Structure formats: C-alpha cells, structure tokens
Homo-oligomer: A and B are copies of this chain.
Amino acid sequence: MNIRALVKPNVRRLSAYEAKEIPCRVKLDANESPYGFSFFKNIPTNRYPDPEAKELKTTLAKQLKLKSKNILVGNGSDELIYYLVTTFGGAVLYPTPTFSMYGIISKALGEKTIEIPLDPSFDLNMKKILDAIKKHKPKLLFLSSPNNPTGNCFSTERILMLIEKSKGIVVVDEAYQPFSSERGFIPFLKDYKNLLIMRTLSKIGLAALRVGFLIGDEEVINEVNKVRLPFNLNSISQALAVRALKDKKQMRSAISSIVSERERLSKELAEIKGVMAYPSEANFILFKVKNPEKVYAGLLKKGVLIRNMKGVINGCLRVTVGSKKENDIFLRALREVL
C-alpha cells in the first residue's frame, strides 16, 4: 500500500521538525530561563520537554514488544485524532454511535464525515460501510473497539475485512482494550501497513496527565509526526506516565478490580426490573430504562452522576464502573428511583 499517496499534498512536502539533542554543559540555545521552580526534584521546570518523549516511548515499546519508531505520543488521544485528520484529511468514516471526537475534530478541520449506524447488535454494518468506502473513498476510518458508548468489541473478522477492503487508514481506537477479554489488534500490525492503533492512559487512572499513543507502521508514524507540535507532551506527564507504566502491579490490580466490579454490576443490573443492560467489554455499562430522563435526574438528586445518552442512543443511560462502594451507592439509588 502506497502510504505517501494517502497523505495530503501539503503534508507530503513537509519534513518533521528536528529537535536535535546536543550534549552540553551550558545550555544557552533555546531561550529558556536559567531559573526554574522547585516543584520537583528531578524535573527542571525551566527546560522544554523531550520532544521525542524517548523514555516514555521506550517504556511502552518494551511492554508492547514493539519499537519506539512504531509509537507517536499525544497530548491525549484527542490530539492524535487532530494530527491524523490534518495528515490524511479526505473523507472520515466512523460508525455511530461512537466516541464523539472523531466527528467533532473532522468538522473543526473542515473535512467531510461519513457516519454509518451500527447494526442492531451494535456491530459494524458491513454492507453499508463497504458501500460508503466505494462511494466516498475515505482516507480515515475510526473504529473504537470496545466501542464507546455501546461497550462491545466489534467482530474481529469485520474489522480485518475493513482493513483489507479500505484504501485508507483504519484506526482501531483501543482506549478501553485493557478491560476487554479480547487481545486487540496489535498482533495484526505486522500484516497491515494501513492499520493504526490508539491507546490511552486516560481510562486506567491517569486522565489528568493527557497521554495517548498512536501505534503503527514506521512509515505511517513518520508521516503523522510531520504535523506534530515538537513539544506536545509536557515533561511532567512524560515522567509520571513512565512511572505509572512501570508500576505494572498497581496497573493490573486496578484493571482487574474494575473488570470484576463490571461483572458484578452487570449481574445486579440484570436482576433489577425495568433495566436492560447491554454486555460490556469496557469500564462502563450502557443500559435501557423506560424513563431515562426521570432516572437520570433522580440519580443526580441522590448525588450520583451518570451519562444521559439522549440524542445518541435514545432511552439509554451509561454508567462508569466505579469502586465497589460507588457502585453500591449507584445500585441502591437506581433501585430507589425506578
């Protein structure tokens, strides 16, 4: 597949910003202040961040058994979506309902969006998507799997078929993959140059830091890197993300608590009359009730904030899996307001 041909002509002509690191004793090249603030022992606040986020990329690459050159780091996945649309442009296709930023960012950047409703089981509607691929030749397909807000993974075979049939880039957004029983698409990277994967630290305890990852073929990563702002990830988020990734024990234990609480929550919801909960591979559960407005408002009155999916999937509410205590408060409140 000719990746360069997919890249917007103005981006094709660019080369990436080169922020060389030149070893020195006295650094007077970057208009930094000589005086920092003593917020941290090991992070000089007066110095620009590492533009290549080397340590963070190395740490993640090791865990994923990939190379640093297969990874681009973003100020959250949101920024990576911005960069993807800037790099490839063209029509942007995604199923609906899904993560809202694919559409919001594409529209902000003036690109055409093609929204294809999911089938009744919340899986990809292949006929409609394949027709749209033929008709609109989208440069970018965004597939959130597990999908937000439906909670399910799309079928692997369908995603693979889209990667094969699409002449564009297919981005599998695996923000919720850590909570899923499926392996995700990293094993398929070696087979498909037009496959990109997004991951994030935002769902696994570090939303405050804004750290997202784009993972893919070196050539594709290099093209997207051309439009990346050189200092897009601040020094503190870089350093703390490394520390958190290395703390595999806490990471795993938090994820497994969330997964087991999700299973319990699903079971309890199934036993509540008037609630129809959908299965979830993510850290949230979508559920249907007769009077969602009343239930949403009633819960909020009891101090429990969940998401009203009005206008996205009518009749539905979405609840994030919290701690055992939070989930208990939610369940009790839900039983009371129903």
Q: Which residues of A contact B (CB under 8 A)?
A: 8, 10-11, 13-14, 17, 22, 24-37, 39, 43-49, 75-76, 78-79, 82, 86, 101, 104-105, 107-110, 148, 176, 202-210, 226-227, 229-237, 240, 243-244, 247, 250, 254, 257-258, 282-284, 300, 303-307, 318-323, 326, 329-330
Q: Contact: A31 with B209, CB < 8 Å?
A: no
* Across-interface contacts of A209 in B (CB, < 8 A): 45, 234-236
Q: Contact: B250 with A26, CB < 8 Å?
A: no
Partner of A24, one of B34, B237, B305: B305
Q: Given A75-B75, A305-B28, are A210 and B49 also a contact pair (CB < 8 Å)?
A: yes
Q: Given A300-B22, A303-B24, A304-B26, are A37 and B247 also a contact pair (CB < 8 Å)?
A: yes
Chain B residue nearest to A283 (CB atoms) is B31
Which has the most chain B C-beta neighbours within 10 Å: A22, A39, A229?
A229
* Across-interface contacts of A37 in B (CB, < 8 A): 205-206, 240, 243-244, 247, 250
Q: Contact: B203 with A306, CB < 8 Å?
A: no
Q: Contact: B26 with A326, CB < 8 Å?
A: yes
* Across-interface contacts of A326 in B (CB, < 8 A): 26, 28, 34
A254 to chain B, nearest CB (A): 4
In the bound assembly, the distance between CA atoms of A203 and B11 in angstroms comes to: 30
Partner of A234, one of B108, B203, B234: B234
Given contacts A27-B320, A33-B205, 16 further A-B contacts (CB under 8 A): A10-B109, A22-B300, A26-B305, A26-B322, A26-B326, A31-B283, A31-B284, A32-B207, A34-B258, A35-B254, A35-B257, A75-B75, A101-B229, A208-B236, A210-B234, A236-B236
Q: Contact: B45 with A229, CB < 8 Å?
A: no
Partner of A226, one of B27, B36, B108: B108
Partner of A28, one of B13, B27, B230, B330: B330
A230 to chain B, nearest CB (A): 7
* Across-interface contacts of A86 in B (CB, < 8 A): 108-109
Interface pairs (13), CB distance under 8 Å: A25-B303, A25-B304, A26-B303, A28-B330, A29-B307, A32-B320, A37-B240, A47-B208, A48-B202, A78-B229, A82-B82, A109-B227, A209-B236
Which has the most chain B C-beta neighbours within 10 Å: A45, A208, A303, A307?
A208
A99 to chain B, nearest CB (A): 10
In the bound assembly, the distance between CA atoms of A98 and B32 in angstroms comes to: 17
Q: Which 10 residue pairs spanning A and B have beta carbons closest together?
A: A25-B303, A24-B305, A208-B235, A34-B323, A10-B110, A35-B254, A28-B320, A108-B227, A33-B205, A210-B234
Partner of A33, one of B39, B204, B303: B204
In the bound assembly, the distance between CA atoms of A75 and B235 in angstroms comes to: 12
In the bound assembly, the distance between CA atoms of A33 and B282 in angstroms comes to: 11
In the bound assembly, the distance between CA atoms of A133 and B312 in angstroms comes to: 46
Q: Contact: B31 with A148, CB < 8 Å?
A: yes
In the bound assembly, the distance between CA atoms of A330 and B25 in angstroms comes to: 10
A250 to chain B, nearest CB (A): 7
Q: Contact: B300 with A24, CB < 8 Å?
A: yes
* Across-interface contacts of A318 in B (CB, < 8 A): 29
In the bound assembly, the distance between CA atoms of A48 and B212 in angstroms comes to: 13
